[in-house]
Structures are given as C-alpha cells and as structure tokens.
Structure 1
Amino acid sequence: MTIRPATRTDCPGILAIYNDAVLTTTATYDYEPRTLAQREEWFDQHTRDGYAVFVAEDESGRIVGWSALNPYHARPGYRFTSENSVYIAADKRGQGLGKLLLSPLIDAARARGLHAIIAAIDATNEVSIRLHAKFGFVQVGHFKQVGYKFDRWLDVIYMERLLD
C-alpha cells in the first residue's frame, strides 16, 4: 500500500469512492453522485489553494482511499482552520487505511501553518469518531438532527484538533 499526494489523474478513483459513499452511506450528506468534471474542478481548486489531497494506492495501482484538507469557511478569519475528509473504498474499510491517510493530512496542515482541523462526522460513524480520537481530535459539538438522508434525521459530531 502506498500513501502519496494525489494527482489529477487520481480523480476517477477518488470519484468512485466518493460516489459510492454518496449512494450507500451517511459519511457525506450529498444525495447525487458527482461527475468526473466536478471532481477534477474540486481537485484543481484544492491544488490552486494549497489544500492537501492524499491517496492510498494498492499494489495493482487502484486508488482505495483518499483524504483531503478543505476550506472550513470562506471568510478570512477562518484561514487558519481546515475541515478534513477521509474516505475509504467499501472493500478496504477496517484495514487501517484511515490511519495511514489521516497522519500525512495532519502533517500537511502543520506545514501549511494551520492552527485547527475540524472533522464533521455523522454520529453513527463510530469508526471515524474513534479514528479521529486516536489522532488527538476531541469532540466539541453534537448537533442533533441537522442532516437528512435515507429518510431519516441525522446527528453530526464535530471534532477538533488544535495543532499548536
């Protein structure tokens, strides 16, 4: 397994993992799969703005996971805070890839001079909550029934990691 910075050519693999999460999980509250053009635009914007994106590539060259730093809010007062994303292919979950993808993301946040990383996690995603806790994230909020997907209301847990 190789963890490396993503390139634009990784967008189809990133897209496949994300779209599966859209259709089958509450890891994202998106309802509609994205197109390759949309994912490439997302990647180009991240690259242009200096936000890290990493991929996990297996021995066959398949992208089996990805992580990213994302803008937290557009207002300049939030420029030292980022929200993270970690997505793993369905057939590779539970194999430790989340740890491998979150670690370089935290290093990249430090290198970028960020002060805080925020994780907004569906309250039923206990695996992600535990993963973030192992990396020093602490729960700072629990928003009840702020999301809606698959015909049910969803809670969101906010976790934060201060970097300095």
Structure 2
Amino acid sequence: MPSERVEVQVRPGVEGDLDALTAIYNHYVRETAITFDTAIFTPGERRPWLLSHPVDGPYRLMVATAPDSQEILGYATSSPYRPKAAYVTSVETSVYVAPHAGRRGVGTLLYDALFEALAGEDVHRAYAGIAQPNEASARLHERFGFRHAGTFREVGRKFGRYWDVAWYEKEL
C-alpha cells in the first residue's frame, strides 16, 4: 500500500545540499543497480557534479524538501546527453528519491518542477536510461510522456551480474 503523501517543497539545488544529495546517491550506488557507479562518493567528489547544474540553462538540479524540517527527500536532474556539440539540445534526466520517501509522489513533483524549468530552454528531447527491472521508474517516465525507444541488453555489470537498460525519450 502506498505511503501517505506529504506536502513537499521543490526548489533548485544549492551547494549546501551537497552532503544530503551525496548520501541519497550513495544509497543507490551501494544497494541497487539503478546507477552503474560501483564506488561511493565523498561530497567533495560530487561537488563538480552539483556545480554543473546551475539555477538556469538546460542542465538543472531540482531538490524536494520536507516543509517542516527542510530534510531533502530527493532530487531530479537534467544533464548533457552526450558531450558532442550536435547533442546540445538533448538532455538526460534522472530522479533519485530518499529510500524512506518513496511512493509519496516526490518523484512526480520533482519531474513536474524540472520539466517546467526546461520549458523555456532550447531543449528538444529528454532521454532516460532505466536499469531493468524497474517498473516504478518506467511508470513515472511514461506518465510524463516518455516512450520506450529501445533496450540495451546486458550493458552494465554490477553485483556480479549483467543488467539491461531500457532507454526512454520525450519530446520537449
């Protein structure tokens, strides 16, 4: 049964969020195949990532916080899809929700804010890679208009096994 929805505030991420954002990401590095990173990060190692997401432009970081405690419940990003110049109007999006905050609509609120922020930017397509299986992430992306574009079979190895990644795309 889904957890009770909570009131959540969404805002651009700032440098003061770095410790909490790193802790959320490290959970997924240690415990899941959702990310293919295999070693945890220090906040200092994640700082360049945070700074690559300014408060304007196509590469954003949106953070969800609990209104009472300001605890960070999750974050969503749009990042460069590929480094070559012709890809500049494409972004890769992702959402990470704190383990205790799942199934409360946090991911939906984050994507709402992220795509609203991207609406005024010169971005043509958004892409998302979803390690399989991950039905919750697939449903979230489909609700936002992403369509399955294809699956890379056994493209990553983590925890002693190979994982497929389904790729989704959305016109912006």
TM-score between both structures, scaled by the size of structure 2:
0.91
Alignment RMSD, CA only?
1.3
Is 1:42 aligned with 2:49?
A: yes
Partner secondary structure for residue 46 of structure 1: coil
Is 1:133 aligned with 2:145?
A: no
Report the counterpart of residue 89 of structure 1 in structure 2: 98
**Which letter does structure 2 place at the counterpart of 1:39?**
R
Report the counterpart of residue 3 of structure 1 in structure 2: 10
Is 1:55 aligned with 2:63?
A: yes
Matches within 5 A, 1:10-159: 10-47=17-54, 50=57, 51-58=59-66, 59-159=68-168
Partner secondary structure for residue 113 of structure 1: coil
Partner secondary structure for residue 119 of structure 2: helix
Give the CA deviation at 1:110.
Answer: 2.2
Q: Deviation string for 1:101-120 (max 9, x for gaps)? A: 11111122222210000000
Partner secondary structure for residue 61 of structure 1: coil
**Which letter does structure 1 place at the counterpart of 2:65?**
E
- Structure 2 unaligned blocks of 5 or more: 1-7
4+ residue runs over 3 A deviation: none
Partner secondary structure for residue 54 of structure 1: strand
Q: Deviation string for 1:12-64 (max 9, x for gaps)? A: 11111000010001110100011111211111122298311010111211111
- Structure 1 unaligned blocks of 5 or more: none
Partner secondary structure for residue 101 of structure 1: helix
Q: Sequence identity of aligned pairs in percent? A: 37
